[in-house]
Amino acid sequence: MLNLENVHHIAIICSNYERSKDFYCNVLGFTIAQEIYRKERNSFKLDLMLNNHYVIELFSFPDSVQRPTRPEAYGLRHLAFAVKDLAKELLVLERLGIDYEAIRIDESTGKQFIFFKDPDDLPLELYQI
């Protein structure tokens, strides 16, 4: 068995770099740790932090293909974020004009959660802790 410490980061390839950068920074509240343009790949790499912890690498590639189906395609099913007050965060999503699914209850924990999408239709979850 490997001795893993924690998840280091999550990599996401976006279709519109500026739109996704705006969403992850101004909607979800990530801060930029580093932004690099890689000329040889014609690609941006944006390192994003949440509460001073490196979490997401956001990439742009000129010839990326769309996700075939969601959410049951092979690969990442969704990315979940812990929130203290789900009702408060839903008001923020509504104010920003971001649609979300109905509140669900985790059968194992009794906690509430919802799903919504990033600009590329990647499924995101808010999970009340």
Residue 5 confidence class, pLDDT cut points 50, 70, 90: confident
The answer to whether residue 69 is domain-embedded is no
Q: Read off the pTM.
A: 0.82
Same structural domain, 91 and 33: no
The residue segments making up the domain with residue 14 are: 1-63
Same structural domain, 83 and 55: no
Tens-place pLDDT, residues 38-85 = 899 899 999 999 999 999 999 888 877 776 665 555 666 789 999 999
Same structural domain, 7 and 56: yes
Q: What is the 3-state secondary structure (H, E, C) of 17-65?
A: HHHHHHHHHHHCCCEEEEEEEEHHHCEEEEEEEECCEEEEEEEECCCCC
More confident residue, 26 or 76: 26
Number of domains in the chain: 2
